[in-house]
Amino acid sequence: MKRILFALLAYCSMAGAEERRSGLLDMRPEAQAMQRDDSMNPGMLWVLEGEALWGRKPSPSAQSCADCHGDAASSMRGVAARYPAFDQASGSAIDLAGRIIQCRETRQAGTPLARESQEVLALTSFVAHQSRGLPIAPPEDAGMRATREAGQRLYMTRMGQIDLSCAQCHDDHAGRRLAGSIIPQGHPTGYPIYRLEWQALGSLQRRLRGCMNGVRAEPFAYGSAEFIAIESYLMERARGMVLETPAIRP
Amino acid sequence: MRGARFLAGLMLAMAFPAMAAAQALQVTGDAVAQSLTGSAGDPERGRAIITDRQKGLCLLCHSGPFPEEPLQGNLAPGLEGAGSRWTEGQLRLRLMDNKRVNPESIMPAYHRIEGLNRVGSAWRDRPILNAAEIEDVLAFLMGLKAEKAP
């Protein structure tokens, strides 16, 4: 029954594909121009730093990312469009930042990297940038289904003192104004994003924590199963939309 | 039923003596007729609460006659004329817990603490507005009368 419902939902979201809209289009023209011009897009600073890290050994005896994966322009092309993915080793879903952290720990014998650290953001944005212009294409494997369903349930759940679900704003009231700001549809097409409010690059999980704080809820932890589930659902919801990393957002 | 609610409210008040615990609802029809403080609120303070984006949060969703506030939301009906649309008792209930009137409402319950999910520690076990603040906001809104047609 659940499977049928989910398939139906996936079909409905596909059917509505023409109405889906990147948050890019909700920004004023100057901000859109900033994103579209790499020489003006501050997110490119993280991408360039990530490129440098890609080729650097974390310690003299360790391998660099490039030692195994080679040229990211070909080996990483399309990868970010397929994350979160099912991790056979742990038997659970893993997001792109989680995979980079895992790779550093298990294959590069490096000191563990922290979520939202400069290094993880730089590497994640560099890897995701290799998929810019490609359609979001979440994996079809059965292992991800339960995670997406859990994510969808969380997306629909009212939370916090303000008692709002993600869906109530980003599905039911997208395009309207919360105070002065247009509520976007909430498609994760450009993460990590350079957010003008942060004056920095940050992950989707940081953005989700911002919304949870906004409704006065206790935010989920970085890297938690809950966040990865929501992320998985949002990527499914945005299936076919084009990746923009590094995106600018207000 | 009313007695049970009152008792529950009393127990809450005892559990959080230092906090402004939400009062039990004394609902008649779709209204709470009695002032939560036993007296009328202050419309000036109510106006300040409504326009305070950390306190009342009203203008995130509603617009209203506040010319000095440029960024007003459009997720919900405007506040103009609120004092003509509702009786004071009806509006008091809608401020305290609008979901009792409309379960699908996106308006937070300003004076209810139970039945919420994952409330952040800084906000737990206290309502968004205390009893006096509800009365202040109510006093201001009841003064927003619809203009008569010319």
In tens, the pLDDT along A209-220 reads: 999 999 999 999
What is the model's pTM? 0.88
Chain B residue whose CA is closest to A216: B120
Res. B13: pLDDT tops 60 = no
Model pLDDT, residue B18: 36
Contact A160 B72 (CB under 8 A): no
A169 is catalytic: no
Average pLDDT over residues A140-149: 93
Compute the average pLDDT of residues B84-97. 97
Q: Which residues of B touch A181 (CB under 8 A)?
A: 71
Longest CA–CA span in chain A (Å) reads 54
Length of chain B: 150
Which residues, listed in sequence order, are joined to residue A181 by a DSSP beta bridge?
Answer: A178
The answer to whether the Cβ–Cβ distance between B61 and A178 falls below 8 Å is: yes
pLDDT mean over A138-161: 96
Among the listed residues A133, A136, A123, the one whose alpha carbon sits nearest the alpha carbon of residue A97: A123
Report the run of H or E that residue A7 belongs to, with start and end: helix A2-15
Across chain A, what does the average pLDDT equal?
93
- The residue-averaged pLDDT of A1-22 equals 57
Rounded to an integer, the average pLDDT of A196-202 is 98
Q: How far is it, in rounded angstroms, from Cα A188 to Cα A22? A: 8
Tokens of A219: 């935010």
DSSP percent split of chain A into helix, strand, coil, nearest 5: 50, 10, 45
Nearest-angstrom CA–CA distance, B46 and B62: 15
What is the residue whose two structure tokens read 């993600």? A166
* Residue-level pLDDT at B142: 98
* Separation between Cα atoms, residue B97 and residue B111, nearest integer Å: 6
By C-alpha distance, the chain A residue nearest B51 is A179
Flag the least confident range among A77-81, A198-202, B17-21.
B17-21
- Mean pLDDT to the nearest integer, A7-13: 49
Distances (CA, A) of B144 to A86, A110, B24, B94: 56, 64, 27, 16
Question: Annotated catalytic residue: which of A65, A68, A103, A211?
Answer: A211
| Residue scoring higher pLDDT (B89 or B18) | B89
Distances in Å between the Cα of A131 and the Cα atoms of A101, A128, A235 are 19, 6, 14
Contacts of B75 in chain A (CB under 8 A): 173, 176-178, 183
Q: Which of B74, B109, B118 sits opposite A218 (nearest CB)?
A: B118
B28 bridge partner residues: B31
Residues 6 or more apart whose CB falls under 8 angstroms from that of A173 comprise A183, B75, B106
Residues of chain A found within 8 Å of residue B54, distances taken between Cβ atoms: none
Task: Return the higher-pLDDT residue of B41 and B150.
Answer: B41
* Smallest Cα distance from B150 to chain A, Å: 31
- Do A161 and B108 make contact, defined as CB atoms within 8 angstroms? yes
pLDDT, average across residues A24-34: 96
Helix residue ranges, H only, A108-219: 118-129, 145-155, 166-170, 204-214
Task: Please give, rounded to a whole number of angstroms, the shortest distance from the CA of A167 to a CA of chain B.
Answer: 11
For B55, half-sphere exposure in the C-beta direction (CA atoms, 13 angstrom radius) is 14
Instruction: State yes or no: pLDDT of A4 exceeds 60.
Output: no
**What angle separates helix B43-51 from helix B131-142, to the nearest 10 degrees?**
100
Given a contact cutoff of 8 angstroms between Cβ atoms, the answer to whether B93 and B100 are in contact is: yes
> Looking at the complex, does the CB of residue A210 fall below 8 Å from at least one CB of chain B?
no
A175 close contact with B: CB closer than 8 A: no
How much is the mean pLDDT over chain B?
A: 88
To the nearest whole Å, the CA of A31 is away from the closest chain B CA by 19
